[in-house]
Structure 1
């Protein structure tokens, strides 16, 4: 049904808020009037996001057209929460697509992005699709903390990176989800602040995503 979806560019919007969920009708020539409703996940993945997703599913249980498909558009967020989110997707056998729906109400889907921690949430989907034009990007994990500061004195900012045990946890998670742990090692070898957008070959090699259902 989704094999003919073509995601097209739309106006860029600021997407720095916490991830929210809503239902949108999928529009595609392939399914016509029989197109289902899908779940749109848009924003930053935070500690509360997995539970918010579960609550959202409960609230939409009466929608008979709703299918187990989530469209991701996210620049990342909390890595641990992303893994929890991924486990929920896998347990409920939900598919994931990288794409977004325009908040202005224009028919969708459009190209989207799944960057940094979003990739670990996407891993949990039973089927993972990154249509042409959508971007999936790796980024090295880090925690930025600020201390002190006051009137006319800036706070002291420190940045720390994931230690080997945390990287090993991510690698084991990836393997359980059917993903080559080399993806995790590649992400953690990147220079700070670098986002590496995956090529189709890399996504295929690491079993992360295909370009269509």
Structure 2
């Protein structure tokens, strides 16, 4: 039996678990419960430049961008506009150096999440689930929940910073004040997108098993096995 098991925002922790594991689990639970504590909805995602942290990326390292907040219908276009306004193309072939995005979001619109993921893939983004912390480029713990996971899928390189958390639950949308869950057509689109981005559709299957008012924090083993992310260094 594993030392701990997550069930939604709850965990079973064996007495034999070492203190470091206990601390990590409790930190994840705090993040998880905060997302469902009835707080006001998070602000729409914004983008800002935060410098150049000491991380590696494939190819030429580009700007370091903090992406924080809820993914809205406007987010993908706003990300592209930010790149155009803040950075000029460079390099031998006039290509934009590959950006590094510190991704910290509790979710938002699912289709917009996929569109943001496609923009990440187009520009070869290295996405790190982390926040910008005190305002510099040193990553601090962050979260990527719900629709944010589909944005993360699109990144060319996906990393989870220490103590950060990735969480999934069943997708839904509000229409006329009522919840509407993903149809078979939408589920098929999600699976096609996942496969196109090199991520196992098991992520989607796991999400569909969790109620919309709960959250499943994915374990490092699941992240690696499903190709969603690697551990931070």
Tell me the residue number matched to 2:115: 84
- Please identify which structure carries the higher helix content: 2
> What TM-score, normalized by structure 1, do the two folds share?
0.79
Which of 66, 69, 85 aligns to 1:59? It is 85
Q: CA-to-partner distance for each residue in 1:109-138, whole Å, 9 max, x for gaps? A: 211000000000000000000022000111
CA distance in 1, matches of 2:76, 2:135: 26
Tell me the residue number matched to 1:153: none
CA distance in 2, matches of 1:107, 1:60: 17
Unaligned runs of 5+ in 2: 1-26, 35-39, 91-96
For this pair of structures, how many residues does the alignment match? Answer: 188
CA RMSD of superposed structures (Å): 2.7
- Which moved further from structure 2: 188-197 or 202-211? 188-197
Q: CA-to-partner distance for each residue in 1:72-97, whole Å, 9 max, x for gaps? A: 00000010011111111111111110
CA distance in 2, matches of 1:159, 1:39: 33
Q: Cα distance, 1:158 vs. partner?
A: 1.8
Q: Quickly say closer, same or farther: Cα 1:142–1:27, change in 2 above 3 A.
A: same
> What TM-score, normalized by structure 2, do the two folds share?
0.73
Runs ≥4 residues deviating over 6 A: 12-15
Unaligned runs of 5+ in 1: 1-8, 147-156
